[in-house]
């Protein structure tokens, strides 16, 4: 009877149950799950991962992740499964592919470009400083 009531409670509350309470007793598995959860975006919230979101969908996704982990799937397999289901949008880290090369490289291209300009400016300024009267230094 007690078991039945518990099951009933489980069946009626999942939509209200915002943060998960299912946790792995193995700390390594738990850490892995948490790490995976942080890499996955809650699809209905603004920029939150499913790890931190209180939305019901996030709770379902957390459950899904943990279930697949229990089934012995690797992180990559779980990510691939979710990507196939929800698209790249679910990954917090945008995949490196043809249409995201620019996204990933732009900051470093700017860094290199700005560095090159700076080197040019410095070399010009160094030539100019040689011609300055010494009392200005």
Partner 1 sequence: MTGELGQLALCFALALSLVMAASGLTGARANAATARGIAHGATMGMLVFIALAFGTLTYAFVTSDFSIADVANNSHTLKPLIYKISGVWGNHEGSMLLWVLVLSLYAGLVSALGRGGPQLTSAALGIQGLLASAFLLFILFTSNPFLRLDPAPFEGAGLNPLLQDPGLAIHPPMLYAGYVGLSASFSYAAAALIVGEEGWARAARPFMLIAWIALTCGIALGSWWAYYELGWGGFWFWDPVENASLMPWLVATALLHSALATERTGAFRTWTLLLAIAGFSMSLIGTFLVRSGVLSSVHAFASDPTRGFFIMVLIFCAIGGALGLFAWRAPTLKGGAAFDTVSRETALLLNNVFLVAACAAVFVGTLYPLLLDAINGEKISVGPPYYAATFAPIFFALLLLVPFGPMLGWRRGDLKEAARALAPALGIAAVAALAVLAIASPRFLTGVCAFAVAGWLIGASILSFIKRKGARASAFAAALAHAGLGVTLMGVAGTTLWRSEALTVLAPGQTMTVGPYTLRFDGVTQEQGPNYRASRAHIALMDGARVQSLLTPEQRIYPAEGQDTANTAIRTTGFQDLYLALGDDRGNGRWTLRAYVSPLAPFIWLGGLVMAFGGMLSLWGRLRAPAQVPSAVAQPAE
Write down the least CB distance from residue 129 to partner 1, Å. 4
Q: Rank residues 71 and 102 by Cβ distance to partner 1 and give the closer one.
A: 102
Q: Provide the minimum distance between the beta carbon of 109 and partner 1 in the complex, in angstroms, as a whole number.
A: 8
Q: Which residues bind to partner 1, rule: CB under 8 A? A: 9, 13, 16-21, 23, 38-39, 41, 46-49, 52, 54, 87-95, 99-100, 102-104, 106-108, 110-111, 114-115, 118, 121-122, 124-126, 128-129, 131-132, 136-137
Q: State the nearest-atom distance from the C-beta of 7 to partner 1, in Å.
A: 14
Residue 56's closest CA among 91, 16, 90? Answer: 16
Count the neighbouring beta carbons within 10 Å of the beta carbon of residue 74: 11
In angstroms, the first-to-last Cα distance of the chain is: 91
Q: Closer to partner 1 at the Cβ: 74 or 104?
A: 104
Cα 102 to Cα 59, 76, 110, 116, 118, distances in angstroms: 34, 24, 11, 19, 23
State the Cα–Cα distance between residues 36 and 43, nearest whole angstrom: 15
Nearer to partner 1, 67 or 119 (CB): 119
């Amino acid at each position: 009877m007690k078991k039945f009531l518990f099951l009933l409670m489980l069946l009626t509350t999942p939509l209200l149950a915002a943060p998960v309470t299912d946790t792995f007793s193995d700390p390594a598995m738990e850490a892995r799950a948490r790490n995976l959860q942080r890499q996955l975006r809650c699809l209905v919230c603004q920029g939150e991962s499913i790890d931190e979101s209180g939305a019901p969908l996030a709770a379902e996704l957390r459950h899904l992740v943990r279930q697949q982990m229990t089934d012995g799937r690797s992180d990559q397999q779980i990510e691939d499964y979710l990507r196939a289901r929800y698209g790249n949008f679910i990954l917090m880290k945008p995949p490196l592919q043809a249409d995201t090369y620019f996204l990933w490289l732009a900051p470093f291209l700017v860094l290199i470009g700005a560095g090159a300009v700076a080197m040019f400016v410095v070399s010009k300024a160094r030539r100019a400083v040689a011609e300055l009267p010494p009392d200005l230094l």
